[in-house]
Amino acid sequence: MCYNFLKEVVYLARTKKKRTKKMIIYLLLRIFVVASLVFQLFQHNYHNVFLCILTLILFMIPSVINKRFQIELPNTLEIIIILFIFSAEILGEVRNFYGTFQHWDTLLHTMNGFLMAAIGLSLVDILNRSEVVNVSLSPIFVCLVAFCFSMTVGVVWEFFEWGCDNVFELDMQKDRIVSKISSVELNPSGENIPLVIDDIKKTTIEGKVNKKAKTYVIKDGYLDVGINDTMKDLLVNCIGAVVFSVIGFFYIQNRDKSKVAKHFVPTRKKTS
């Protein structure tokens, strides 16, 4: 009896310590976002002001999930979600990490694939273990659903980026300079045979910017409008989803022995 009591005390102490760390991270990130918001206001950059406000709203998502849907988010997952939002909106967009660091976008899309697979797996796993719903799905099928869920979220996000680029004239699908293209459109014979153009020295773009004629010369390549970026994002999203799907398979097979997946898989709160 004394042993069980001491064990419970140690568990509560560790839980309180983890919650304290989580609250400190929450507080520090919110302070930084508010400071950025004020600074952007003084700079009259209202687009970034909107992103700061959006970030503060997105920070509330884990709390809403916990309370409204009675889903228990592991502290590790909750902290990573908050850091992911902060990295994407504040560091990526407001502080321009996407332009400063070449692989920043790749890192975030890989992490997105990993996290979405964890959430997808938990959604099916909670249903699979429910006493109300009479279903019993194999671990492989659950992991396949998790993978498909992650990829679907990734595809929908690329649709969103494409829509913003076309409707609001943004550049979320970042352009890339490529030195080789294959195109049917450029085939002088008009046949459905791609013309391969290699070692492109330069391309010239003539158009109007604010109703003024402008000419841009791109050295050492051709301007690829978003295709490479989109496919790269989906590829690394796929890698992240596959990695967690493998981890999730062993988690379902050996639930009590898993030391990694349990930090990322949400569970239903136990009702007293």
Q: What is the total count of domains within the chain?
A: 3
Same domain, 165 and 64: no
Read off the pLDDT of residues 20-59 as tens digits, 9 standing for 90 and up. 888 889 999 999 999 999 999 999 999 999 999 999 999 9
Same domain, 16 and 91: yes
Read off the pLDDT of residues 182-233 as tens digits, 9 standing for 90 and up. 999 989 898 999 999 999 999 999 999 988 999 999 988 998 888 899 999 9
Asked whether the beta carbons of 151 and 137 are under 8 A apart, the reply is no
Same domain, 95 and 230: no
Domain end call among 72, 101, 130: 101
Same domain, 157 and 257: yes
**pLDDT-derived band at 259, boundaries 50, 70, 90:** confident
Same domain, 152 and 198: no
Asked whether the beta carbons of 184 and 193 are under 8 A apart, the reply is yes
19 Cβ contact partners less than 8 Å away, ≥ 6 residues apart:
75
Same domain, 124 and 151: yes
3-state secondary structure of 268: strand
CA atoms of 180 and 172, how far apart (whole Å): 23
Domain that holds residue 45: 1-101
Domain end call among 83, 101, 119: 101
Same domain, 142 and 240: yes
Same domain, 1 and 112: no
Same domain, 194 and 259: no
